[in-house]
A and B are shown apart, each in its own frame.
Chain A
Amino acid sequence: MPRITFPFGPQHPVLPEAIQLQLTCEDEKVVEVTPVIGYMHRGIEKAAEGNPFVNNVFLCERVCGICSFMHALTYCQLIEGLMNINVPPRAKYLRVFWSELSRIHSHMLWIGLLADALGFESLFMQCWRAREVILDVLEMTTGQRVIQSSCVIGGVRRNIDGELAKTVFNLLDEFKKQWDAISPVVQKDYTIRARTEGKGILPKEQAWELGIVGPTLRASGWAHDCRLLGYAAYGELGFQPVVEEGCDSYARTLVRVREVDQSLELAYKALNNLPEGEIAVKVKGFPEGEAAVCVEQPRGELFEYARGNGTPHLERLKIRTPTFANIPALLVMLPGSELADVPVITLSIDPCIACTER
């Protein structure tokens, strides 16, 4: 059987980021996949050791520009754990609010990219248009569109109250209106289903064995979500993870679609139940000892570990990002698929290479 071996990336129109998949096809069927990374590696963990620990918030949130808030949140929770800081309840609720908005904007972005890779241009445009509303909320409440820098050690930097809260509610309503028009299309459209159903199957058992995380895992039938740990205000808000049993790309799409609804609900809840009080506490001293923290990022479990030695500089910072855990899933899903499905399947784990390579 004649073979076709070629590079898919690092620069490739369907990949917004630089990763290479070295593909070997027979006919249009993929028979071998070798993921090649290193095109985006910067060395953030090492650089973090050289920076004062307070500044690392800004470095960490630039691990990934899409879920930057989550990265900042994780790092802050890590240091707060290390230094036993009690974050005020209002800050916790605000953190949930921004986390969930980040999740919405990330999922909307993803649905758009999926539609784009499928050649469904108009859906891409509609998703991104709706996403702009969320970005407006983020910009209004934090001052920036994509890299908000609103989370600091000890709390958050900005408050949401009064007129601002009203505007935010209006914008969220506006988003909900747009989203309610988009979401049935994503779920029901014949062409989207034809392209995603049964593609990139990740069997339930295998998903667990490979240590897959996030929506990819939940689409294979596991109710695993770090938010169940109850960090920030999640313990008080209460929620059930979204689970799908389909194990295919369509199920992963559905998980994300339903998570947008869920996140919106959580955001409303968080904002409605904002406790009164301070939004940050002052940080004194330097981190010492070890701590680890898990946060559910849009792509799955984000794990950070730090060791402090009582100086302004951390001795070690370790970031394990969800995409790193999910790349093995590609090696299960891609072989045997058609070349036309490679973008769909690759996107279905929502790869964030900037995260993975740090």
Chain B
Amino acid sequence: MSWLLPSAIAVPLLAAGLTVLVGRRLAAQRVLAATGVTFTLGAAIALLVQADRGGPVVAQVGGWAAPAGITLVADRFSAIVLTVSAAMLVAVLAYAVGQLGRDALDWWFHAKYLVLTAGVAMSLLTGDLFNLFVGFEMMLIASYVLLTVRTGPSQVRSTVSYVVINLVASALFLVLIAFTYGATGTVNLADLAGRLSEIDPAVSEGLGLLMLVVFGIKAGLFPLFMWLPDSYPTAPAPVTAIFAGLLTKVGVFVIIRTQTLLFPSEGPSTLLLFVAGATMVVGVLGAIAQNDVKRILSFHIISQIGYMIMGLGFLSVAGLTAAILYITHHIVVKTGLFLVGGLVETEQGTGALHRTGGLLHRRPIVAVLFLPLALSLAGIPPFSGFVAKLALVQEGVALGRGVIVAVSLAVGLLTLFSMTKIWSATFWGEPAESAGRAGSGVLAATAVVVATSLAVTVFAQPLIELSARAATELLDPAIYITAVLGGG
């Protein structure tokens, strides 16, 4: 089964190359894109099953044993996140095809989308620090070109900011690689885990903090997030949806991976919990201040990241279980919300709250799609966000971390507040002029995402059991290290 690991990355790459070769034959591009992305989803599911039954699946690319070669690893954690991500990539591709049907966004959309898919898969599966850099760059270059295409004068500045900030982050990543290799002589994560414990603990800890910062920029942690809400809202809906759903979560994934594998420690981390709380609060305040659907949702990306870091900050099985469940839930819900935001823009021509209204009466289906996602985001039962938040709150109470629990609940209320702001201004009120009509394709794609989020609710128990097994695995780095260095 280990052949699935490189294939999950390389098949979309091959498809990307082929879409470039077939040129302007749109139908062929679509078939290739759908095949590539769906293959990754299938591979992810197979890997998840395999990793859950028999422990981490490892592939040494090129046949060179770690730590010389690049190792790809699918343990439960990476397989879960990859599965959810790939599912969203498939759904959003369907949405994009539906939306861009007549007026193709640009000729190379599918190639870029496939490279984004490959980049996400590589970043999630790789067991190598430098390969992670490459995976990030693939993800980023695809995101740059998806974000910048067809930008007008008003958006060009925000996309420029996005690219520049990410280049600064990439430079910092290179500094991290230089320091890490300089101090340890390896870039293989499993090998690093051992070597970092042998060097001066001060250096090791410093590298851990540098990693937190470097990946924190990608994840949108406080106070490194400001670029995100300025740039995400400018892209077309499917592009923003996939950015919002996946990119920051890849950052969170890498933070959790590196902090648990490379810098294992006992007991809750006050630093992480502080960062978590600050991220939640600042993000939600930003959301409240906004007056545009996509901007509100973008700030909520930040705020929600705080919850995932909160779970990590507990550094316990239950805390990480909650974090993993939260990531799963959030990827789906956030993607869905941005897709609904896209529906609003299609219907009303804008997402600016003072110009929308009455959509509940004109297109009730959009309201029906919005409501469960919005309530889930705010952590209202019985939706998936509630289950994930309950898991966090229970662990916070059990550990006696009252402050972060109180903050997380208060932020939940403010989230509800900003969701009612969207509801009130967009779905209620005097109907705004109709600008268009969302087609059945985009509605169906959105409905699939909503259904997925409801499935997370219904199957919360098996999911939480799976997450708990993944969390246990994360807190025992020896499993990962043995899988990479010992076997394969």
Chains A and B bind each other:
no
